[in-house]
Structure 1
Amino acid sequence: MNPAVVKTISLVVLILLGYSLQSKIKGKDQKAGLKTVILSIALPATIFIALLKIEFSWEMAIVPLLALGFNLTMFWLAGKMHLVQPSIEAGSSRHRTMQMLIPSLAPGLSAFPFILEYFGEEPLAMAALADVGNKVFGLILLYLIAMRWYYSRHQMENQPVGAKVKGMLLSLVREPINMVLLVALSMLAFGFSFSSLPEFFQMSAQRLSLMMTPLVLLFIGISVRLDWSQARTIFSLLFLRSSIAFLISAVLLLLLPVQSLGMALLVVIFPQSACSFWPFAHMSAVGGMEEVSGRADKPTFDLDFAMNILACSLPFSTVLILGICTASDFFAAPTNLLAMVAVFGGLALIPTLLHIFRGKPEMVNQ
């Protein structure tokens, strides 16, 4: 059997094992604890090792800028997705919710384990650098956008948010993954590498790193929750999101001098990451403010719709990224990516065509 297929099956087994544990791990605190271990210990250790094993150059600063450019492009395009999805009305709470979530990325839970397993530490290190730009977008820019929409919708004066933005910047720096990035990049700038560290520290970091892939896959299986009443709309949006991401990846592969298969696949995989939880956190904060102020009857965001998008996005991206990794040579070719743009775009349009033929668009007016 093809080694890539064997590896994919072994990873799927871990996801199914996690799914079988859903009856055992029901509480939010239990899931939050597992997620904390992944994002605060296992993933930072893996990224730290990967970064200190690459040859650093200041040209790498372009990587987070490219990721941020992708986020901004997707944000603008997400605002137009209602044109091909008749169940979402422009200016509605669902429309704003969609525009917050669709351009966000959560590579730590949906992409990093597979990048490491299939392509090694150098592409993983570059993915971690790209995630810096993605986090700036998700933590800071989307927060400002959510607050702007909240004040605008309720015709309130835009109150000063400087202190809150400062707090968000501090949380960005204090996050374990970003702390590891700062430390590792500082060490590289001064000529240190992973082998420069004491042997006991190297062994500890390597053992922590080994936990990442199985823990993430178990977490994915445990977290899968699908509300099929909205599945048609949500999966249509996810197919459209993936189609646009494939198009952007194809353009980048044509323009950038990518030298290795791993780096080429990184350009394809990173934009296919699941939607991030951070926009949901911002929307939840706005929802709390609306409840306190008595404005919950006109919500800025649809939080139930947001949670369903997150629930569908994680397994969708996981299956898609596993497929890309398994058929890596196919997805490294820009022409094949353009074919995927057509296929996924067509799948995204199926619900729209069904609405047109049936003549029963389900508009959401909020």
Structure 2
Amino acid sequence: MDGALEKSISFILFIIIGIILKKKISSGDETNGLKSLILTLALPATIFIALLKVKVDGNLVLYPILALGFNVILFAFTPFLIKFIGIDENSAKDRSARLLIPSLAPGLSCFPFILEFLGDDALAKTAMADLGNKFFVLFLLYLVALKWHYKNADFEANSLKSKLKSLFKTLIYEPVNMFIIVALILVSFGITIDKLPNFLSITLNRLSFIMTPLVLIFIGLAVKIKKQQFYQIFSLLILRASFTLFLIVGIILFVDITIKKDILIMIAFTLSSASFWPFAHISAVHFKEKRENTKEKTFDPNFALSILALSLPISVLLILGILTAGNTFTEINSILFLGTLLFLIGIIFPIINKIKKFLSKTTKEIKPITKKKKIQLIADK
């Protein structure tokens, strides 16, 4: 079996293990304990190591800028996708989706395939592009999450001074941010992961190794997808992939990209699954609101988890299929065909939903008229 495929199956199996463990592990304190372990140890250690390993190449500086640009464009377009599939505007689900959909997790869904199919050079380019994505999901989306939280909270109860103070405390004392600040200071002095004491680098690496299994098991444990919600999220993710492919076509034509490997890198990277990091922001805000007994919650963590759970297999299947097809999807017509096909699949649920609502509304309007006619006929008798 192909190595990349084996890794992908392994990732999905971890989610299945989490689902199976639901019978043994309660969805309350035990699951929250696992989440705390991820957010306070595994995730910060992973980010810390990633930052200390970064070697900036002048020729690759453009890639993080392009990735950041993609994130911003997708963030701006996401509200239209969410509205189209029927999620209420400014609801907790809406805000959760708007935070997750523009994010990318190439480490889980993209890196293994690019390494297997396109080689080390392609992986280096993708890793550099991920720096722009990391900046977007770690910093920009975090600020967006806090902005929505404060907008949702009682404005009169929180003065501007107390808001700024709370924001500063959150930024400083958040474990992820503390690790990032320390890592950036070390990098600025030329200290890399190799220059750290051996015992410290071994400890950090071992903490980092448990990151992926813990995240995937946690998704399996915590996810609760209802039938209606499944179709809704599936439609949203398929439309996201469709929009991504159309955007890639636009970039290829505008910049006149002719190198086939670069086109495949762009497609694979931008089709990556939604990132866990925005969920970390959602969890932090939700925990804060729970502690403060906020009535109206800013986000819906269960809906966010459902997006994460479905996003990984969908992205894996799309990326694997595209890279397995060789140079087929380096042609504009092939990319447009796939994008159109995904768009047609993605709009099935919204169209059916709108038809159902229309028929339900029409039925309600017809019933009173029918009753009126019956009364008139009785009166005539």
TM-score normalised by structure 2 residue count: 0.70
Count of residues in Structure 1 that have an aligned counterpart in Structure 2: 344
Amino acid at match of 2:9: I
Q: Which amino acid aligns with 1:184?
A: A
Q: Determine the structure 2 residue equivalent to 1:268.
A: 270
The yes-or-no answer on 1:353 pairing with 2:351 is yes
Q: Which has the higher helix share?
A: 2
Q: Distance in 2 between matches of 1:125 and 1:242?
A: 22
Alignment partners' CA distance in 2, 1:162 and 1:62: 39
Task: Classify the secondary structure of the residue corresponding to 2:147.
Answer: helix
> 1:102 aligned to 2:97?
yes
Range 253-262 or range 276-285, more displaced? 253-262
Q: Distance in 2 between matches of 1:287 and 1:40?
A: 19
1:315 — aligned with what? 309
Q: 1:176 to 1:74 in 2, by over 3 A?
A: same
Going from structure 1 to structure 2, the CA distance change for 1:212 and 1:134 (only over 3 Å counts) comes to closer
> SS of the counterpart of 1:54?
coil
User: CA–CA distance in 2 between the matches of 1:328 and 1:241?
Assistant: 16
Alignment of 1:326-365 (within 5 A): 326-327=320-321, 329=323, 333=330, 335=332, 337-355=335-353, 357-358=355-356, 359-360=358-359
Residues of 2 paired with 1:24 and 1:285: CA distance?
A: 28
Quote how far apart the aligned CAs of 1:106 are: 8.5
Which structure 2 segments of 5+ residues have no match? 116-122, 362-381
Match of 1:139 in 2: 142
CA shift, 1:211, in A, is 1.6
State the partner residue of 1:195.
194
The equivalent of 1:14 in structure 2 is: 14
TM-score by length of 1: 0.72
Give the match for residue 42 of structure 2.
42
Shift in CA distance, 62/160, structure 1 to aligned 2, threshold 3 Å: farther
Structure 1 unaligned blocks of 5 or more: none
Higher-Rg structure is 2
Check the 8 A contact 1:243/1:344 in 2, yes or no.
yes
CA distance in 1, matches of 2:286, 2:40: 24
TM superposition shift of 1:144:
2.4
CA distance in 1, matches of 2:82, 2:103: 29
Per mean C-alpha deviation after superposition, the further-off stretch among 107-116 and 264-273 is 107-116
- Structure-2 change in CA distance of 1:111 and 1:216 (3 Å): farther
Matches of 2:284 and 2:41, distance apart in 1: 22
In the alignment, which of 113, 124, 127 is matched to residue 130 of structure 2? 127
Aligned residues: percent identity? 25
Aligned residue runs from structure 1 range 1-366, under 5 A: 1-56=1-56, 69-70=69-70, 72-81=72-81, 84-85=84-85, 87-88=86-87, 92=88, 94-105=89-100, 111-115=106-110, 117-118=112-113, 123=126, 127=130, 130-148=133-151, 160-248=159-247, 251=250, 255=255, 264=266, 267-270=269-272, 272-273=274-275, 276-277=278-279, 278-279=281-282, 282=285, 306-307=300-301, 309-327=303-321, 329=323, 333=330, 335=332, 337-355=335-353, 357-358=355-356, 359-360=358-359
